[in-house]
């Protein structure tokens, strides 16, 4: 087994390869099993230790044992390699093991190409703008490494190959844009092709229990983005409708997802609120829209009688749709089945809950007075709006109302609905999102999982289904300001709300930077990830090329690529002629002076042969001719990068050569 120094591979290239491979594999730590990531990290650290101590590379036995161990790790983590994650895990393990046998330049090439392939697999999990930028930087680093690998002598600094890689990237950019814009598109974006099991961030679900929404609300992940046509509604109207819960056993609430209606059965008041929603993957079927929906936004979706908008399948990839809603409306006809269903009481209704509701009914002149009395009860009885309420046992609503009085929005909404039903008023729980953060850079609202919310709807004669938010009676700032999570993590701590006045100068800078990054990410989603057949047709129409069909686009693409290739080639040839190599220019002057003495260089004659012939023809100048020729061969074909002094000496010797 040979020492590492005997392989003939420059140490700096080996270190660059190890570091670039580690950076390419780093994002997979968030996607793959911890055991797989730990094994790769072990191999990477082992290779760095071998590099630092200049040890011999492992022998065949050790590599065979590590290979079997790596395969066992993948099989133990995924029970096979047929799926997406199993295949990527096996690739990661094998690329890491390849580092232990890099002995020749061929091994360097293979490992670089495998690293490129490993980078591509990251897009199976994340196609965000930031990960694309990260992978682009790694690609520049790998191309720079390949440039350095093909140099006869090492560069004076790493800036030279990096600059060369950047130039190659800029040269390829126009061709990349042409291929991206004009290549005939599928009916859906390429990124949405499901290659394996979907990967998404779970949002609201079809069931609700104490703590479910409060747990979701502690996530800062983006649920969706919404852009309004014209002036957006006030924040108090930003209720984004999701699942509707009518059935309960007193602890768990479930949404009914059956049935469909063809049209709305209420009378809109005022202009429709038109908005575009870009919904992130949720693994659920709900299409979030501003309350109250006026139509189904996509063809393969339905509207249920309680105004849930349901897609025909789970949303496992980002989708965008046009939505129409009405924030003001008058009631329409109510189905009797809805009335009866939303009056059903679970067996957990206790005598003191029923007595509380009866007291409101006896003191009320109309049902709306009962609603006001319930909201006043929440406001006056020292209820606490908190993310960390005490644990509730068998009867959550009763314990919350009379004992703990601490809860999140689902506690207030569910207990309010049960009290309304006990008072004889049909009621149901609606879950979704409330509010949103306006991004002034992109001009749209960002709604995060932290905005998950639950409220109630009551059925009143002459008013229809009316939204009531019991949380607003306890924490009215919830409707106007985002939650500040930092001070509400301990048991029973009340929630505080964040305003612009609370932000420091550094906090404002961080917020503005977040806006810019989110706007870039949204533009990336719209123009790259969501670039499908419809987007392509829209862009071509803007460019005045909407007359092109698929064949026409293909022909135009080929012509533009050919013209670009010829143009770049002509430019490079012209530049090389305009700026010849100074060393070769001096040598050509030397050959011209020899030709004046009758020794003309032949077309197939190399510098050394020509120099020998010139020495024989001009013996008095033999020593000078030999010195100039050797210096030229060293500068042009030497194994080491020439110093500036050597090059200057060569130029002076040619300048002084005047036979």
Active site residues: 409, 453, 469
Cis bond leading into 535, ω under 30°?
Answer: no
Question: Within a 10 A sphere around the Cβ of 573, how many other Cβ atoms?
Answer: 10
Could you tell me which of 453, 464, 481 has the C-alpha nearest to residue 242? 453
Q: Cβ(319)–Cβ(312) under 8 Å?
A: no
Tell me the CA distances in angstroms from 438 to 226, 409, 553, one per residue in order. Answer: 9, 23, 39
Q: Which two tokens stand for residue 163?
A: 């600059």
Answer for the pair 265, 326: CB distance below 8 angstroms, yes or no.
Answer: no
Instruction: Record the tokens describing residue 137, joined without a space.
Output: 């930087």
As a whole number of angstroms, the distance between CA 582 and CA 559 comes to 37
Query: Among all chains, which residue has been given the structure tokens 């953060």?
Result: 437
Establish how many alpha carbons lie within 13 A of residue 97's alpha carbon, considering only the half-sphere containing its beta carbon: 20
Burial category of 26 from C-beta neighbours within 10 Å (exposed 0-12, middle 13-18, buried 19 and up)? middle
> Residue 460 pairs with which residues in a beta bridge?
464
**CA atoms of 241 and 244, how far apart (whole Å):** 8
CA pair distance 173, 595, nearest whole angstrom: 46
Specify whether the CB–CB gap between 294 and 326 falls below 8 A: yes
DSSP string, 14-52: HHHHHHHHHHHHGGGGGTS-HHHHHHHHHHHHHHHHHHH
3-state secondary structure 561-604: HHHHHHHHHHHHHHHHHHCCCHHHHHHHHHHHHHHHCCCCCCCC
**468 in Cβ contact with 291 (< 8 Å):** no
Contacts of 330 (CB under 8 A, 6+ apart): 266, 267, 269, 464
CA dist 385 and 382 (Å) reads 10
Q: How far apart are CA 4 and CA 16, in angstroms?
A: 16
Contact 593, 659 (CB under 8 A): yes
DSSP designation for 404 = I
Residue 375 near residue 470, CB atoms below 8 Å: yes
Q: Show contacts of 9-12: CB within 8 Å, 24+ apart.
A: 9/102, 9/103, 9/104, 9/105, 9/108, 10/154, 11/51, 12/154
Q: How many CA atoms lie within 13 A of 292 on its CB side?
A: 23
Determine the Cα–Cα distance for residues 262 and 269; give it in Å rounded to an integer: 20
């Amino acid at each position: 087994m040979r020492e590492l120094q005997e392989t003939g591979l420059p140490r700096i290239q080996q270190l660059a390869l190890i570091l670039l491979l580690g950076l390419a594999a780093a994002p997979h730590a968030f996607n793959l099993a911890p055991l797989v990531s730990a094994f790769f990290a072990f191999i990477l650290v082992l290779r760095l230790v071998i590099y630092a101590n200049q040890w011999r590379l492992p022998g065949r036995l050790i590599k065979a044992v590590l290979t079997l161990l790596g395969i066992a790790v993948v099989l133990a983590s995924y029970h096979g390699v047929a799926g997406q994650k199993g295949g990527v895990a096996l690739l990661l393990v094998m690329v890491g093991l390849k580092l232990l046998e890099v002995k020749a330049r061929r091994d360097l090439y293979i490992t670089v190409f495998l690293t490129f392939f490993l980078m591509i697999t990251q897009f199976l999990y994340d196609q965000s703008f930031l990960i694309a930028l990260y992978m682009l930087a790694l690609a520049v680093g790998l191309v720079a490494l390949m440039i350095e690998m093909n140099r006869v002598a090492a560069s004076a600094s790493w800036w030279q190959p990096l600059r060369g890689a950047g130039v190659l990237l800029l040269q390829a950019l126009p061709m990349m844009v042409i291929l991206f814009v004009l290549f005939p598109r599928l009916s859906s974006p390429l990124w949405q092709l499901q290659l394996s099991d979907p990967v998404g961030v779970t949002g609201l679900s079809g069931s609700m229990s104490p703590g479910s929404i409060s747990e979701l609300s502690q996530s800062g992940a983006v649920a969706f983005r919404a852009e309004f046509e014209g002036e957006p509604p006030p924040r108090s109207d930003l209720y984004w409708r999701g699942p509707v819960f009518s059935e309960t056993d007193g602890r768990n609430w479930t949404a009914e997802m059956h049935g469909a209606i063809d049209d709305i059965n209420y009378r809109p008041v005022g202009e429709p609120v038109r908005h575009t929603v870009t919904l992130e993957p949720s693994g659920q079927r709900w299409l979030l829209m501003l309350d109250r929906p006026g139509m189904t936004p996509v063809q393969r979706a339905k509207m249920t009688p309680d105004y849930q908008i349901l897609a025909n399948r789970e949303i496992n990839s980002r989708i965008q749709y046009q939505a129409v809603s009405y924030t003001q409306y008058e009631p329409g006809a109510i189905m009797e089945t809805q009335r009866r269903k939303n009056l059903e009481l679970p067996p957990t209704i206790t005598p003191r809950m029923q007595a509380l509701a009866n007291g409101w009914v006896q003191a009320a002149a109309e049902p709306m007075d009962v609603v006001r009395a319930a909201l006043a009860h929440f406001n006056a009885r020292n209820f606490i709006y908190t993310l960390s309420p005490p644990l509730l046992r068998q009867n959550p609503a009763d314990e919350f109302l009379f004992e703990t009085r601490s809860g999140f929005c689902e506690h207030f909404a569910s207990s309010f609905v049960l009290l309304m039903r006990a008072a004889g008023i049909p009621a149901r729980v609606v879950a979704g999102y409330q509010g949103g953060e306006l991004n002034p850079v992109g001009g749209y609202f960002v709604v995060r999982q932290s905005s998950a919310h639950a409220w109630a709807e009551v059925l009143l004669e002459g008013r229809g289904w009316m939204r009531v938010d019991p949380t607003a009676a306890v924490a009215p700032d919830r409707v106007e300001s985002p939650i500040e999570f930092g001070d509400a993590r301990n048991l029973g701590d009340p929630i505080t709300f964040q305003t612009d006045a609370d932000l420091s100068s550094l906090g404002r800078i961080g917020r503005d930077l977040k806006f810019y990054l989110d706007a870039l990410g949204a533009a990336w989603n719209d123009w790259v990830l969501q670039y499908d057949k419809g987007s392509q047709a829209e862009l071509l129409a803007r460019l005045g090329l909407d007359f092109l069909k698929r064949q026409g686009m293909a022909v135009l693409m080929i012509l533009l690529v050919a013209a670009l290739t010829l143009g770049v080639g002509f430019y490079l040839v012209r530049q090389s002629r305009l700026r010849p190599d100074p060393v070769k220019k001096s040598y050509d002057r030397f050959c011209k002076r020899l030709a004046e003495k009758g020794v003309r260089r032949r077309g197939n004659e190399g510098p050394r042969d020509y120099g020998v012939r010139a020495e024989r023809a001009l013996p008095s100048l033999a020593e000078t001719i030999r010195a100039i020729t050797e210096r030229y061969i060293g500068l042009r074909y030497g194994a080491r990068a020439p110093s500036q002094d050597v090059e200057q000496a060569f130029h002076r010797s040619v300048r002084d050569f005047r036979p």
